[in-house]
Chains A and B, each alone.
Chain A
Amino acid sequence: MELPPLSVEQLSKLAASNVPPLQLYEILSQYETDACLISAGTGSLETGDGDPQVLSLFYSSFFFAHLLAKQLPEARALTQRMPETLRRQDPSLQNCLTLLRALWQTQHAQVYQILRRLPWPENLQPLVQRYESFFQDDTLIAISTSYEAIRPATAANYLGLDPQAAEQGDPAIIEKFTSCGWTWDAATQLLHPSPITIPPTDKPSSNGIRETMAMLGNRGS
């Protein structure tokens, strides 16, 4: 399968598309050699980069693809593969590094701030927003199984909502939680999460293990 050549247009298209995370990751990973050649290529020797714009967009997109595929350690490795000068100068890549640090230290509030407040390039925005809602959903699921009771302010902090408003019992925020099955106890001012589970994609057969054991057993005879 031949991919269209690496270009800002192609990357913008990918960023805006709704390709599933693993597929996005796979497509972008195929561009990494191209990006590597571009960075070594024709550009001025002083900066050492070919086309900073396309490279910045590529590495930023690829970075987000790692995050969407939940590949945090490899995302860190990617930041070490970015062209040195570009990584140090490009604001978008700098933002990626800041984001990585916040994720590494599981600083939820910071993660949202970085995603929302920092200036991300226009054509990366769709990915940034996509990741924000991915991160939010992921965290929501995680809280729903980790907490039996949680103060709205804490929950809001985890999900990047306004903690002050949540603490005052802002109905809009409470409603966000009750809409996914959580219960709100107005007397204690606590939310009681109801675990959100995602059904596994492939239906596991209960015979699987039995067959496996049988297979194991037959080896000896």
Chain B
Amino acid sequence: MDTLPDAFPSTQAGSAASYTPGYPTAGPLIGGENPESIPRIKVHDPPKFDLDSYIANYVGRTRFDRLYLIGTSSTVLATEALKLAVAEAKSGKDVVQYEKAVRALAEAAPNEEDASLDTAWVRNVQRQVQMQSERLEQELRGYKNNLIKESIRMGNEDIGNHYYETGDLVAASKAYTRMRDYCTTPNHIASMLFKLINVSIERGDWLNVQSNVHRLRNSQSKPEDQAKNQPKMSAALGLAQMHSGSYLDAANSFLSTESSLSDTFNEVITPNDVAVYGGLCALASMDRVQLQHRVLDNSGFRNFLELEPHIRRAIGFFCNSKFRPCLDILDAYRTDYLLDLHLQPYVSELYALIRTKAIKQYLVPFSRVTLDSMAAIFAPEVVGGEAQPTGVSSPFVQELIRLIKKGVLDARIDLEKGVLVSNQTDLRTEVQNNTLESLRSFNEEAHLRILRASVLHAGLEVCAPEGERRSRMSHPSETRGMGIAERFTRGGLRS
């Protein structure tokens, strides 16, 4: 009776265990594991966006998560964002969320009116929630007694929605999963899976997001429904892949997201986010030809890029080998991205990848490049400030050393002439050395093999002590099970 093609075994158990609902300082659970151990990144520069219009792009619980993240990360926007977060929580039914926001605000701006807990509201909401939970469970029991599938499905959905709104994500996830057996149409299944995806995204359970996307893809929906669902599926998958560190896969998922996404997925991701996430992942994982071909020339993705023209410009610069302007743009937006719910943990890694790739691409056409000209592009702030911008202990040269040692750059530093020299193998020397080495190792191995053959032939294999007497019978079959039996009397030699 299972109508769902289970592409993945359930991973809920494992990830649910690492989720601690209502933990006071738990943020929006990025990464899904041990949220409390991730130190909050602090951002001191003002972002380019306007908070009000930014948050207006989103709906649902992600609004709170985003406001809370900005409020706890940005020192500039802390008060403003947290006040909005408190208001956002108070308009809903999630008491834990509200308490968390108030606590954070009290820390950032203790004198604010909203910084003290509205205990009356809390008690009231808690009571209401409690009552509604009981009512909904009661109703569901009734439906179950009547054995009407559709009612049971909807009853479970109502319960799931209720728990979701009140912040009990584990219970919500369980309720949505229970809907599964009562789904009668592909549409039911799709809707249920999207509910599960949303909950999983909020829980940071990225494996579950991916497996539910695969279930959606394999479900027997009508083609037009599939087409309708495609943008959300791709975006959700891209998000999950980005969180798993598979930037190339993530880039491909975002790139294949159709522009019909529009504002249909605002409870998770906006088209602007798709442009930024996709653009950065692509920059970090694709070479210049791929970027040109699959990003800039991609008519579908162009619609997203138009929303974030600076990403488009950055990619364009990279393709034209104008790395400094490209990196400048990224630097200018670093603050914004550090305040993004999904991007924050990956900004430094993505930026480092892009930078490394730029250095590699920069070197491609040259057999030697002066360190000064490289530093001018990749470490301009240093060139002005330091006495020896390309000395061995300068940060830029140290960065190059690390890249060479990791095998990322196939080049060597010439500190005498101040250049980076690409490695050209001295074919002649190499051939000679290889010949010598392979002849030597061939000789050694040949000797070993001849000797082994002679040992076997003479029946002189190493054997257990009781068999120590030389047996003249050859042992054609070599049994390989060996123990350590024999003791070698030490010191026989060393007087």
Contacts and interface: CB of A to CB of B under 8 A. Distances in A.
A214 interface: no
Interface string A207-221: 001001000100000
Contacts of B441: none
B435 interface: yes
Contacts of B435: 209
Interface string B425-468: 00000000001000100100000000000000000000000000
A216 B446 CA distance: 11
Nearest to A219: B446
A188 to B, nearest CB: 15
Nearest to A216: B442
A216 B439 CA distance: 10
Which applies to chain A's interface (DSSP): helix, strand, loop or mixed? helix
Interface in A179-221: 209, 212, 216
Interface in B7-56: none
Q: Main SS of chain B's interface residues?
A: helix
A216 B435 CA distance: 14
B435 to A, nearest CB: 7
A216 B438 CA distance: 13
Contacts of B442: 216
A200 to B, nearest CB: 15
Contacts of A209: 435
Nearest to B436: A209
Contacts of A212: 439
B447 to A, nearest CB: 14
A209 B442 CA distance: 14
Contacts of A216: 442
Interface string A5-32: 0000000000000000000000000000
A82 to B, nearest CB: 18
Contacts of B439: 212
B387 to A, nearest CB: 25
A190 B316 CA distance: 52
A209 B440 CA distance: 13
B145 to A, nearest CB: 84
Nearest to B435: A209
A166 to B, nearest CB: 25
A171 to B, nearest CB: 31
A212 B438 CA distance: 13
Interface in B253-270: none
A212 B442 CA distance: 12
A150 to B, nearest CB: 16
A147 to B, nearest CB: 14
Nearest to A213: B439
Nearest to A209: B435
A58 to B, nearest CB: 25
B493 to A, nearest CB: 16
A216 to B, nearest CB: 8
Nearest to B442: A216
B371 to A, nearest CB: 22
A130 to B, nearest CB: 34
A216 B445 CA distance: 13
Nearest to A212: B439
Interface in B335-383: none
A173 to B, nearest CB: 28
B434 to A, nearest CB: 12
Interface string B161-193: 000000000000000000000000000000000
Interface string A116-147: 00000000000000000000000000000000
B369 to A, nearest CB: 24
A212 B435 CA distance: 12
3 contacts: A209-B435, A212-B439, A216-B442
What 3 pairs across the A-B complex have the smallest Cβ distances? Answer: A209-B435, A212-B439, A216-B442
